[in-house]
Structure 1
Amino acid sequence: MVIPVHDVNPVRRTPVVTYALIAANVLVFVFMPGLSGSVAGDSTLAQTCHLHAFLEHYAAVPRELIHDQLPRLVPTGGVRAGGCLLGPPGYDKSPVLSVFTAMFLHGGWLHLLGNMLFLLIFGNNIEDRMGHVRFALFYVVCGYAASYGFALLNADSADPLIGASGAIAGVLGAYLVLYPRARVWVLVPFLVFLPLRLPAWLVLGFWFVLQAVYSSGEGVSDAGTVAYAAHVAGFLVGMLLAWPLKPGTPPPPEPRGLLFGRRARPRHTW
């Protein structure tokens, strides 16, 4: 898996929505209950139970999205012998609204930082092309499409669905449509991390193929813990929504200097 670090595709205006989304995701994660020991790996049972109760309240649950029915017993945040205390939910939960709140929840620092890296690199250009308001709506629509797409394929699942990955996958799909020839600096793990500048169609196309393969359960052992199908759904919806903007999108600047690890030859003009 390649790690993108920068794209050669400048923007004309400050991507305030992209920055606001990143800030909101980081702030929500910092203040999420039960994650204080996640970095050191020393979470107590009480913290774990508190986190489970929080996620049950604010995360999207496929079974709730499809059947619109809340469970009779949920984690309350309390601790009993050997596990978490269960009880009737003491709150009213809207499954539709939970999709929105779930977009700002993450299960760990790696989950958060990986998502924010992709949003920072690719989100600014999509916001620049769409405008601030349309980009914000686009982001939310892709997040909802990803969550409901996953829920349709896992209608009886009671596992909480969290993360901005589905919405960000929509951003990646839009970038592939609008800027397929933009160059992206990536780190390729091969004994050491090799820096290469690759076309966006190769980087994002490879990412999408991996998500599609993993969503089928092939080639990955944790297919049950990562919602790869949500990534696929969000990516495809992002492509479809961005397609009408393609004819009027100016091409990215032609990069100079190093290309695929070698210096590009200068072009002569006549």
Structure 2
Amino acid sequence: MIPIRDIIPRRDFPFVNYSIIVINILIFLYEVSLPEGLLNDFFYLFGLVPARFSHPEWAYFNGLYIDNYWPFFTNMFLHGSWFHLISNIWTLFIFGDNVEDRLGHFKYLIFYILSGLAASITHFIFNIDSTIPAIGASGAIAGVMGAYLIMFPYSRIVTLIPIFIIPFFIEIPAIIYLGIWFYTQIVSGTFSLMANQNAAGIAWWAHIGGFVFGMIAHIIFKKKKYRDFYPDEIYLKYFR
């Protein structure tokens, strides 16, 4: 399922969300300018490598310092490929504007960063021996998605479902679309633990940690009730 857009109108220009998208793009453009060897070092320096903190002898041997905790933050602005980048910023583009609307610009920025940190910590806990750098904004974006699920459960997500070569566009309630997405993360994350493949592949538990954080923490940040925030005609159309 490929999300195309949601149907909830926004009230304010989401300049924080767009700024985060631009920052991710600029950093990725810098990445692609680096030679392959330097890029690998760049990922190990600024990506989250759990073994850096759980195995100090390994970290020192590879020139990594265990008293530098910035990778828990910096990893959320790095991406490994154009597809990785585009899929993340597209998802953020779809869900982030409405969440920024509901939280306010400054609170949304803090919320996004904290979601990314929660995702990083969760990844570290479940992949504590991994020597592979975890990179990507998906953990922080999962937090945005978790908040969106709670705040806009009856919104509709226009979704592309290709069947053979025929594209079908259908509207799926957010509670179903995001519920399915979260379920796949839980299943995949559980199988990754059972298969002892914690050091490679997609950071499933970062997604889970970010999503759960977003579902819970949005309550601290949200500023208005739905009916106060949207005109009655919008509320009745999209939230009943």
Aligned to 2:184: 210
Matched, 1:58 2:46: yes
Structure-2 separation of matches of 1:105 and 1:70: 23
Structure-1 separation of matches of 2:223 and 2:179: 17
Mapped contact 1:61–1:95 kept (Cα < 8 A): no
TM-score by length of 2: 0.86
Aligned to 2:170: 196
- The CA deviation string for residues 210-244 of structure 1, in whole angstroms up to 9 with x for no partner, is 111111226x9x87311011101100000001245
Secondary structure of 2:77's aligned partner: coil
Task: Name structure 1 gaps, 5 residues minimum.
Answer: 37-45, 75-87, 256-270
TM-score by length of 1: 0.77
Find the partner of 2:123 among 150, 162, 176: 150
Task: Name structure 2 gaps, 5 residues minimum.
Answer: none
Q: Considering fraction of residues, name the structure with more strand.
A: 1
Percent identity, aligned pairs only, is 37
Matched, 1:229 2:229: no
Distance 1:124 1:247, change over 3 A: closer
Distance 1:67 1:14, change over 3 A: farther
- AA aligned opposite 2:210: G
Distance 1:95 1:227, change over 3 A: farther
Q: Considering fraction of residues, name the structure with more helix.
A: 2
Secondary structure of 2:27's aligned partner: helix
State the structure with more CA Rg. Answer: 1
State how many pairs are aligned: 226
Aligned to 1:249: 226
Mapped contact 1:180–1:200 kept (Cα < 8 A): yes
Structure-2 separation of matches of 1:13 and 1:178: 17
Alpha-carbon distance, 1:249 to partner:
2.8
Distance 1:66 1:124, change over 3 A: farther
Structure-2 separation of matches of 1:236 and 1:69: 33
Alpha-carbon distance, 1:100 to partner:
1.5
Mapped contact 2:76–2:137 kept (Cα < 8 A): yes
Alpha-carbon distance, 1:93 to partner:
7.1
- AA aligned opposite 1:208: F
What is the 5 A alignment of 1:33-182?
35=32, 47-66=35-54, 71-74=59-62, 88=63, 95-182=68-155
Alpha-carbon distance, 1:58 to partner:
1.1
Distance 1:200 1:51, change over 3 A: same
Alpha-carbon distance, 1:67 to partner:
6.0
Mapped contact 1:60–1:95 kept (Cα < 8 A): no
Secondary structure of 1:181's aligned partner: coil
Structure-2 separation of matches of 1:230 and 1:19: 23
Moved more, 19-28 or 147-156: 147-156
Secondary structure of 1:6's aligned partner: strand
Alpha-carbon distance, 1:122 to partner:
0.3
Moved more, 55-64 or 23-32: 55-64
Alpha-carbon distance, 1:66 to partner:
4.8
- The CA deviation string for residues 6-33 of structure 1, in whole angstroms up to 9 with x for no partner, is 111011100010000000000000111x
Secondary structure of 2:92's aligned partner: helix
CA RMSD of aligned residues (A): 2.4
